[in-house]
Structure 1
Amino acid sequence: MDFWLGVDCGGTFIKAGIYDSNGKEYGSYRQNLAIISAKPGWAERDMGELWQACAAVIAGAIRSSGVAAENIKGVGISAQGKGLYLLDKNQVPLGYGVISADQRALAIVKQWQAEQMPQKLYPITRQTLWTGHPVSILRWLKQHEPARYAQIGSVLMPHDYLRFCLTGEIACEETNISESNLYNMQSGEYDAELAKLLDIEEIMPALPPIIGSSQIAGYIHEEAARQTGLKEGTAVVGGLFDVVSTALCAGLDDETKLNTVLGTWSVVSGITSHLDDSQSLPFVYGRYAQQGEFIVHEASPTSAANLEWFTRQWKVDDYAEINRAVAELPKADSSVLFMPFLYGSNAGLGMQAGFYGLQSIHTQAHLWQAIYEGVIFSLMYHLERMRQRFPNTKVLRVTGGPSRSDVWMQMLADLTGLPLEIPQLEESGCLGAALMAMVGNQVFSDSKQAQQIIAAQMKHITPDPTVYDKYQNKYKKYKLLLESLTHFNNHCND
């Protein structure tokens, strides 16, 4: 019997799972990933430790599954997008990897905005421009660490680096590199004019060949086999940007469904067959796993990581108790508002987190409720915009850690007025990556056919119309407070 291994490298965990060609999971393993914050706004990862963690979760998944290594026929990797992982000219890691939440390039991005650079780039790249993009970090390195910049041999994203560790082959996978601001969305190739506009034209020789999600990129080499337990010579495919993997496993197949991901980031995604030039908003596009299709998404690091930070500070790890405490409070009744910007914002560069509206009557439960609401309110910014691009949306499919909380999901349904469908899948990132390995090894002809095997049971949550107006009223207060804080932030940064 043949099996397929998928790795999912996220902002908090790295995971691996083993599946058969029907999508049944036989074993999985996960490990925490540390974020290094050497300076305010910096978010980095030790590349050597990341590879060791990847090898460990692969070995752990194989052990837990009881599957023989020779029966694992292919490997795929799903990972966070954006950020920057560099190799020098000898193919050795060049410093720490920089993850997408990094904000060191804030001043550079502000300068680009003042120069109307996003407007110049968008028609070519179909991307916004912010601190976590590879181009922003590269421009920062050129300005602040020129010696390191001069040593760059290969520009990679997280799954490209891990694939290199497994195979020794260097390439950039298309769904991820297409969102780098170095890629021409229309032509499907790197564009030297983009690098020149951003004053990083020297980087062009360091951009590796672009490969497809299901394209075989290389094979497990001897040392990787020793560390992971995989068989030497096992095929490794390009892999996926994690939002693409999640959309695939959420069953997005037309413009009536949107996928909401709540994890380290809040993401709203939709699938389309065309670039729509009639829209007034600059929607972010990326290449999708299916040839000729695009993923459209809005995202910000304003999600469940905020809750995780607070649970660490208060040393509370009983999420069932948090849910009970929130459920016992009247819905949308408290005056407490929370801005979920601990790791970044969708309301402007440099915005920070905080509570407002606290009074002596409030308890810890009110803080938990405000965090739940704040994450959903921030998500609504993206959802409202995405519904302009996808006006025929009839249902939200929700994935990520908060989707396990019925209390949190009911809050989302009540605020939006949309029914929710929650796929009962443990690890959509791992499964999506494994599906690409199956396509690459010709088990399926393409991603659409592979998607058909995912017959996940859906949990359905129906909105409560009796509290819709209450949530909308509190959401308006959130937006008013946000507007005031934006003015405050801009004034302080003048």
Structure 2
Amino acid sequence: MQKFWLAIDCGGTYLKAGLYDDTGQEYHIERHALQTLSTSPGYAERDMNDLWCSCVQTIKALLKNTRIRSTQIQGIGISAQGKGLFLLDKQDQPLGNAILSSDRRALTIVKRWQEEKIPEKIYPITRQTVWTGHPASILRWLKKNDRRRYDDIGCVMMAHDYLRWRLTEQKGCEKSNISESNLYNIVAEHYDPQLMKLLGVAEIEHALPPVVGSTEICGTITNAVAKLTGLAEGTPVVGGVFDVVSTAICAGLRDEHTINAVMGTWAVTTGLANQIKDHEAHPYVYGCYVQDGQYIVHEASPTSSANLEWVTAQFGKMGFDEINQAIEALPKVSSDVIFLPFLYGSNAGLDMTGGFYGLQSIHTKAHMLQAVYEGVVFSHMTHITRILERFTGVKKLRVTGGPAHSKIWMQILADVSGLTLEMPKVEETACLGAALVAQVGTGIWATIQEAQAQLTYPINVLEPDRSAYTAYQKKYRHYQYLIEALQFYHTRINQEKR
């Protein structure tokens, strides 16, 4: 019988389950839409029981539609959104809704930490910024605003930890994700009680489960889950990965000579480092990688393609092909309209919000759409430029995510950056990455590099248009000037509030 590895990806909008063979070839994918709950401005939550039901139904559909035997599945890996907070109470029941990484309720706490210079104190220990979506920030908010819930915390997890616990009844926090929680000392590689004390959440130390490795077998499918899903009891489940790590694996990152831009809900630029450096040009975010002795280094903000989804929803749900055709019909850099892609957060200050500037009556919907494409690229350039200062000598940029399917959008990225783009044709990078760590965990490959080496997928290459590069540099500067002006505006507004 042919052997398969099951990959589960818990993303921002979909839960996916896929089957992969030992060469990394996708056999079948099932998808289930997920609901994000927003009961108050800035809230982003997920019903934990509904998420588990979605996972069960997606696995059942996968097995039913492929008609493979459950015993053909050799191992299971999970990839998921990073950060956020999934809590169990002291009776091992979901403690309210999960709070997702895009949640902004802790904004006031983060601002106060910034005033108190907390980021400068914790960065040498965590190599993280302070941000509303970190588990530590959300925990501090719960302590202040929902003390009863805070006091009932029995276990702290993130998305793939929660799903792994439902599958195996074994608790753990996976290393690539928990290392970016602001609860973890990345230099010493363990939870740090002094961090928790500094951040005002010392009481939750008892609720932190063991740290587990990405490729470590952390448990097996229980009898109860086997009956629910159709999976075979005893199937091994590995720790899994933060989805940014999954994408880095599938983008072919192996050393410091290649970087990857991920264009999804988040704008993420990543590289792999062999060491943590001190006194760098920027406070880069570091996380533990799948391979011991390597770190994933990234810059990120929620400023990517989710902005397009919102804008087009206001236009009546335009299709991706229709959007691309409308923009392609325009000359490059055809207007002075600037879009700030900050509908869900920004990389230009906590107060910054999104919007269009420069609109006149001569402009059409197509000009607005072109400005959205450009604005998302400009925001990505903030991160790409900083990462290139860390990884010098990089000449090519690998790009993954939904926008990588648009030649028009990718040409704008190439023209603005001046870099050659490489787009690996991998449909579901998070699923494939999860499958590969499961293969390493079950002994098919000795290392993640061996698993990567056997992948065979085409790579589309796109060169920058040098004639458009100069025009885009001018517009990019104007985008930066607008941000500077708005930062001054918000400073004045905040002064009025005091």
TM-score (norm 1): 0.99
**Aligned 1:367-406 pairs, distance under 5 A:** 367-406=368-407
**Corresponding residue of 1:166:** 167
CA distance in 2, matches of 1:30, 1:314: 26
Kindly indicate whether the alpha-carbon contact (under 8 Å) linking 1:12 and 1:264 is maintained by their aligned counterparts in 2.
no
Kindly indicate whether the alpha-carbon contact (under 8 Å) linking 2:79 and 2:160 is maintained by their aligned counterparts in 1.
yes
**Corresponding residue of 1:38:** 39
**Corresponding residue of 1:296:** 297
Q: CA deviation at 1:279?
A: 1.0
CA distance in 2, matches of 1:385, 1:134: 25
What is the percentage of aligned positions where both structures have the same residue?
54
CA distance in 1, matches of 2:372, 2:476: 13
Asked if residue 448 in structure 1 is aligned to residue 440 in structure 2, the reply is no
Q: CA deviation at 1:191?
A: 0.5
CA distance in 2, matches of 1:55, 1:259: 32
Could you tell me which runs of 5 or more consecutive residues in structure 2 were left unpaired when the two chains were aligned.
Answer: none
Q: 1:378 to 1:189 in 2, by over 3 A?
A: same
CA distance in 2, matches of 1:32, 1:272: 35
**Corresponding residue of 1:260:** 261
**Corresponding residue of 2:130:** 129
CA distance in 2, matches of 1:367, 1:60: 40
CA distance in 1, matches of 2:326, 2:42: 33
Cα distance per residue 1:385-411 (max 9 Å; x no partner): 111101111111110000000000000
CA distance in 2, matches of 1:312, 1:425: 27
CA distance in 2, matches of 1:472, 1:207: 47
Letter in 1 for 2:331: P
CA distance in 1, matches of 2:450, 2:65: 28
CA distance in 1, matches of 2:230, 2:385: 46
Could you tell me which runs of 5 or more consecutive residues in structure 1 were left unpaired when the two chains were aligned.
Answer: none
Cα distance per residue 1:38-77 (max 9 Å; x no partner): 1111111111111111122222222333321110011000
Kindly indicate whether the alpha-carbon contact (under 8 Å) linking 1:174 and 1:213 is maintained by their aligned counterparts in 2.
yes
CA distance in 1, matches of 2:23, 2:402: 24
Deviates more, 1:109-118 or 1:483-492: 483-492
Q: 1:144 to 1:409 in 2, by over 3 A?
A: same
Deviates more, 1:103-112 or 1:30-39: 30-39
CA distance in 2, matches of 1:46, 1:115: 34
**Corresponding residue of 1:275:** 276
CA distance in 1, matches of 2:400, 2:62: 22
Letter in 1 for 2:146: E
**Aligned 1:7-156 pairs, distance under 5 A:** 7-156=8-157
CA distance in 2, matches of 1:421, 1:82: 28
CA distance in 2, matches of 1:486, 1:162: 40
Q: CA deviation at 1:483?
A: 0.9
Kindly indicate whether the alpha-carbon contact (under 8 Å) linking 1:216 and 1:236 is maintained by their aligned counterparts in 2.
yes
Kindly indicate whether the alpha-carbon contact (under 8 Å) linking 2:155 and 2:208 is maintained by their aligned counterparts in 1.
yes
Kindly indicate whether the alpha-carbon contact (under 8 Å) linking 1:28 and 1:60 is maintained by their aligned counterparts in 2.
no
Match of 2:65, SS?
helix
Deviates more, 1:141-150 or 1:308-317: 308-317
Match of 1:277, SS?
coil
Q: CA deviation at 1:245?
A: 0.4
Q: CA deviation at 1:344?
A: 0.7
Match of 2:105, SS?
coil
Match of 2:61, SS?
helix
CA distance in 1, matches of 2:279, 2:117: 21
CA distance in 2, matches of 1:228, 1:482: 50
**Corresponding residue of 2:348:** 347
Q: CA deviation at 1:314?
A: 1.8
Q: CA deviation at 1:153?
A: 0.4
Kindly indicate whether the alpha-carbon contact (under 8 Å) linking 1:28 and 1:64 is maintained by their aligned counterparts in 2.
no
CA distance in 1, matches of 2:302, 2:128: 17
**Corresponding residue of 1:412:** 413
Match of 1:493, SS?
helix
Match of 1:8, SS?
strand
Deviates more, 1:303-312 or 1:243-252: 303-312
CA distance in 2, matches of 1:41, 1:384: 29
Letter in 2 for 1:135: A
Q: CA deviation at 1:294?
A: 0.3
Kindly indicate whether the alpha-carbon contact (under 8 Å) linking 1:87 and 1:93 is maintained by their aligned counterparts in 2.
yes
Deviates more, 1:197-206 or 1:226-235: 226-235
Kindly indicate whether the alpha-carbon contact (under 8 Å) linking 1:273 and 1:294 is maintained by their aligned counterparts in 2.
yes
Cα distance per residue 1:136-159 (max 9 Å; x no partner): 000000000000000000000000
**Corresponding residue of 1:489:** 490
CA distance in 1, matches of 2:222, 2:311: 42
Letter in 2 for 1:328: A
Match of 2:413, SS?
helix
Cα distance per residue 1:21-49 (max 9 Å; x no partner): 00111110112111111111111111111
Kindly indicate whether the alpha-carbon contact (under 8 Å) linking 2:281 and 2:389 is maintained by their aligned counterparts in 1.
no
Match of 1:18, SS?
strand
**Corresponding residue of 2:437:** 436
CA distance in 2, matches of 1:308, 1:60: 28
CA distance in 2, matches of 1:317, 1:123: 46
CA distance in 2, matches of 1:336, 1:13: 33
**Corresponding residue of 1:308:** 309
TM-score (norm 2): 0.98
Kindly indicate whether the alpha-carbon contact (under 8 Å) linking 1:28 and 1:65 is maintained by their aligned counterparts in 2.
no
Letter in 1 for 2:91: N
**Aligned 1:155-234 pairs, distance under 5 A:** 155-234=156-235
CA distance in 2, matches of 1:468, 1:323: 20
Match of 1:316, SS?
coil
Cα distance per residue 1:94-141 (max 9 Å; x no partner): 001011111100010000000100000000001111111000000000
Q: CA deviation at 1:232?
A: 1.3
